[in-house]
Amino acid sequence: MTRTATVERWGTFELTLRGGPGTGNPYRDVEFGADFRHGHRVVPADGFHDGDGVYRVRLMPDREGAWTYTTRSTAPELDAVEGGFHCTPPGPGNHGPVRVAGPRTFRYADGTPYLPFGTTCYHWTHDEDEKLEEDTLRTLAASPFNKVRMCLLPTRAMNPPRLPFPGATPGPPRPRDLDTTRFDPAFFAHFERRVRDLRDLGVEADVILFHPYDQGHWGVDDMSRDEDLFLVRHVVARLAAYRNVWWSIANEYDFNTAKTVEDWNRIGQYVQRSDPYQHLRSIHNGTRMYEYERIYDFRTPWTTHQSIQHWDAELAPRWLERVAKPVVIDEIGYEGILGRRWGNLTGRALLRQFWHGMAAGAYVGHGECYPEQDEDDSAWISRGGRLHGESTPRIAFLRRLWEESPDDVFVHFGDRRHRHRDVPLPKDGGPWALDLIDTWNMTVTPLPGRPSGGTARVPLDHRPDLALRIRKAT
């Protein structure tokens, strides 16, 4: 008797077929996918060639019970293959993919609230340094960060062992042996293994598809429209069945002079059409620190949330008022001691931006760029590894407060040294309990009294980095 395969809800079912076409260019010449059925519902999913005549198609089942599938392909030996599997309840820690739940909120598919506390490790997978990657995963497991921004494509300064495309000899104006009509299965096998590792840690993988940092070196930032969409289709077919994936169409899109806003919209719409599960999608702007920024027009229907680079989180109400989509300030500047203004914030300065953003109804991302300490240790934002800054434990304290108090009101007083502040209280729902929070020393001190309305005079004693929590008295 043949045993029916089982996959947990929001897990990944994979069908692998061998012996398909392997000559010519099967990446372009062979169409392959499957229709998955649950009752009367049909979920079409694109498949992909994975080298040596191996073809795969994946599904993230979102309903429990019996599923069946039928493949479809232009290759007769891959067409009309039938089978099935059983979807079981989700396991511990599996809450499904993250969804937008309102103009300022996110939730997992099972209804569990999700507060994004992201960090940036652009190229932590590209050197295929197992020790460094394992250090990165251990660091993330012990950190407050539940989202990682990570790039698919290399930068000019890199010399990785593999690229998404075969051929890796750089040179102006672009390497002629970089074959953008094929893919390197080994590169993607490594990349998606690390996406699964993040999933198992409960960390979202915010996959950055394009960026402007190649500058003609590898030839991947100025590809044609067909080459762009060819890459995107393959990436979506490979990764969309992992519940922890987000799509960032580009990092600092406006610094890429080879593409227009129309091009970015076309790519975003293509991702929207190609992804059966409608993972979160956005695009990230560049900025001249303290000079100007080009915020994307997030009214475009294909974007699910606002991914913003800006140095001032107190402006979040402006963006929320303009577009009713959650604001994630993925880059606000990084803690470190680099010579660049974006890379030399103190831990206190970065923490203040987290508090400003959260109090305003937005979410702020972390990054760290201290210089290399030794041979096995490098800047976190580029290659991961270990964290050295002061902000991380304070961000963990902030996350704990916010998750414990989802309905409470927070007021952040910033770096000013006031003697006291008069704070308006909510008009309805009192009496209120007031807690004074020292955001840097990570203490919570209850204040006397249970006011019901009006204002409350909060003693600050000329200390900076304090906040007030307003909660219903019990």
For residue 170, is pLDDT > 60?
A: no
pTM metric for this prediction: 0.95
Check whether 372 has a pLDDT greater than 70: no
Distance CA 112, CA 115 (A): 10
- Alpha helix stretches (DSSP H) within 324-444: 347-359, 380-383, 391-404
Residues comprising the chain, all counted: 474
| Cα first-last separation, the chain | 60
* pLDDT, position 288: 85
Tens of pLDDT, residue by residue over 134-159, are: 999 999 999 999 999 999 999 988 88
Share of the chain above pLDDT 70, in %: 96
State residue 173's pLDDT score: 46
Q: For residue 378, what pLDDT band results from cuts at 50, 70 and 90? A: low
Measure the CA angle with vertex 228, ends 222 and 232; round to 5°.
140
H/E element holding 266? Answer: helix 261-274
Nearest C-alpha neighbor of 196 from the set 238, 232, 154 = 238
Q: Which pLDDT score is estimated for 376? A: 42
Mean pLDDT (whole number) for 104-118: 98
Q: How confident is the model at residue 427 (pLDDT cuts 50, 70, 90)?
A: confident
Over the chain, what is the mean pLDDT?
Answer: 93
> Taking residues 353-382, what's their average pLDDT?
84
Fold for the domain defined by 98-404: TIM Barrel (3.20.20)
Other Cβ atoms less than 10 A from the Cβ of 226: the count is: 10
Over residues 366-386, the mean pLDDT reads: 78
- The helix (run of H) or strand (run of E) holding residue 136 is helix 130-141
CA angle, corner 415, sides to 411 and 417, nearest 5?
95
The answer to which of 99-108, 205-214, 283-292, 317-326 has the lowest mean pLDDT is 283-292
313 close to 357: Cβ distance less than 8 angstroms: yes
Q: pLDDT value at position 168?
A: 60
Left if phi > 0, otherwise alpha if psi is -120 to 50, otherwise beta: which for 153? beta
Contact 433, 450 (CB under 8 A): yes
pLDDT of residue 97: 98
Neighbours of 367 (CB within 10 A): 27
391 half-sphere exposure, CB direction, 13 A CA radius: 27
Q: Are 375 and 411 in contact (CB under 8 A)?
A: no
pLDDT of residue 1: 38
Which H or E element spans position 5?
Answer: strand 5-8
Fold designation for 409-472: Immunoglobulin-like (2.60.40)
pLDDT at 452: 87
Q: Tell me what the mean pLDDT of segment 2-9 comes to.
A: 85
In this predicted structure, the answer to whether residue 133 has a pLDDT above a threshold of 60 is yes
pLDDT, tens only, 351-361: 999 999 999 99
Mean pLDDT to the nearest integer, 70-88 = 98
Q: Position 43: which residue type?
A: V
Q: Which residues pair with 444 in a beta bridge?
A: 437
User: How does pLDDT run across 45-57, given as a tens digit for each residue?
Assistant: 999 999 999 999 9
- HSE value, Cβ hemisphere, 13 Å, CA-based, for 266: 12
318 sits in which H/E element? helix 316-322
Confidence of residue 177 (pLDDT cuts 50, 70, 90): low
What is the rounded average pLDDT of the residues 56-66? 98
Give the DSSP per-residue string, 158-227: ---S--SSS-----SS--TT--TTS--HHHHHHHHHHHHHHHHHT-EEEEEEE-S--TTSSS-SS--HHH
Q: What is the CA radius of gyration of the chain?
A: 24
Phi, psi at 238, each rounded to 5°: -75, -45
Local confidence band at 343 (pLDDT 50, 70, 90 cut-offs): confident
Query: What confidence category does residue 215 fall into, taking pLDDT thresholds of 50, 70 and 90?
Result: confident
CB 264 within 8 A of CB 283: yes
Q: List the domain boundaries for the chain.
A: 5-88, 98-404, 409-472
Q: Quick one: what percent of the chain has pLDDT higher than 90? A: 84
Q: Do domains 98-404 and 409-472 have the same CATH topology?
A: no
CATH 2.60.40.10 fits 5-88, yes or no: yes
Strand partners, 470: 409, 434
pLDDT value of position 218 = 86
Q: In 243-309, where does DSSP find H-type helix?
A: 261-274
Buried b (16+ CB within 10 A) or exposed e, 20-29: bbeeeebbee
Residue 340 scores a pLDDT above 70: yes
